[in-house]
Structure 1
Amino acid sequence: MATITQRTTHFTLRFLAQPCTVNFGGKVHGGTVMSWIDQAGYACSSGWSQRYCVTAYVGGIRFVRPIKIGDVVEVEARLAYTGDTSMNIAVEVRSGDLKGGGLEKTTECAIVMVLVDADGKPVAVEPFHPTDDAGKTLAAEVKKRLVGR
């Protein structure tokens, strides 16, 4: 069994889209995709804080294209920056056919996770501020998605 001993700033889920996730149009249900986003956000935020976190907000969700049953799905969550008690995360969902071609973006959004204590009260999170250009760009994109929340 692997042990996570250091803080992580990203987490990726990979799996196959299963028939039990189908909507009336024959594609993966949007609510299922949102559940996957929440799971990846939890894993990313808990990887950084190394404690229990809860979803406070999902914003700017954009469904770009549908996911087909049988596609390989990749849900990538990346920590963009932290607040006092929150972790602001960019999530991108990609999918594609295993028999050829690459993965294409299907959904993107920003998610805010909050570090909480045993009573569910927010507590201070270890600060994370990007230092490289790619990280700063990601932080700016997440901030733009979260405007108006």
Structure 2
Amino acid sequence: MTDSSSSDSKNKRELTLRFLAEPGDVNFGGKVHGGAVMKWIDLAAYACSAAWSGKYCITAYAGGIRFVAPILVGHLVEVSAKVVYTGRTSMHIAIDVQASNPRTQDKRLTTHCIVIMVAVDELGKPSSVPEWVPTTPEDIELRESAIRLMKMREQIGEEMEAHVKAFKTKS
């Protein structure tokens, strides 16, 4: 595993972790299983959010995971993480997973998702994080997209609560 980082002022806003897909990562179909990919995503989200905030961070949400293409044993996997929105104590991290055959370097997107990390203090209580302010048109769009997704998650949460209540009354 390696880390390739760039910085945004003094805080590191994005990084890439690299892995080699090993035989132990493979499912019965011969492809890297989703659990291994999700573990790599969580590691990259943690490293990115800790670098941005300078604090220990925990995963609060991982969603919208799209498995676009399979990863094969022996492929070089790059998990890129980037802060796209900050709240008072939370950071929304956009994750892209790409894989390539190391001999041909034919890199392709395999997975994409958003992970929300929360910085915590020594007692495990949420702790403030530095604000990220977008400056480029691309970054402004990423932030606006994160805000739209946040609103959609709130609506989904309300629907799930109604579903759970309806299920409990039938039991």
The alignment's TM-score, normalised by the length of structure 2, stands at 0.80
Q: Shift in Å at residue 10 of structure 1?
A: 0.3
Identity across aligned pairs (percent)? Answer: 48
1:137 aligns with 2:141: yes
Query: Are residues 141 and 103 of structure 1, via their aligned partners in 2, closer, same or farther at CA, if it must alter by over 3 Å?
Result: farther
Aligned to 2:31: 27
Instruction: Give structure 1 stretches of 5+ with no counterpart.
Output: none
Q: Distance in 2 between matches of 1:24 and 1:120?
A: 39
Of structures 1 and 2, the one with the larger relative CO (CA 8 A, separation 6+) is 1
Q: Distance in 2 between matches of 1:145 and 1:71?
A: 31
Q: 1:148 aligns with which of 150, 153, 169?
A: 153
Q: Shift in Å at residue 101 of structure 1?
A: 4.2
Q: 1:69 aligns with which of 55, 69, 73?
A: 73
Q: 2:112 aligns with which of 75, 83, 108?
A: 108
What is the alpha-carbon root mean square deviation over aligned residues? 1.5
Aligned to 1:15: 19
3-state SS of 2:126 partner? coil
Instruction: Give structure 2 stretches of 5+ with no counterpart.
Output: 1-6, 155-171
**Larger helix fraction of residues:** 2
1:93 aligns with 2:108: no
| Residue type of the alignment partner of 1:80 | V
| Residue type of the alignment partner of 1:128 | W
The 10-residue stretch of structure 1 (25-34 or 94-103) with the greater mean CA deviation from structure 2: 94-103
Query: Are residues 143 and 104 of structure 1, via their aligned partners in 2, closer, same or farther at CA, if it must alter by over 3 Å?
Result: farther
Structure index of larger Rg: 2
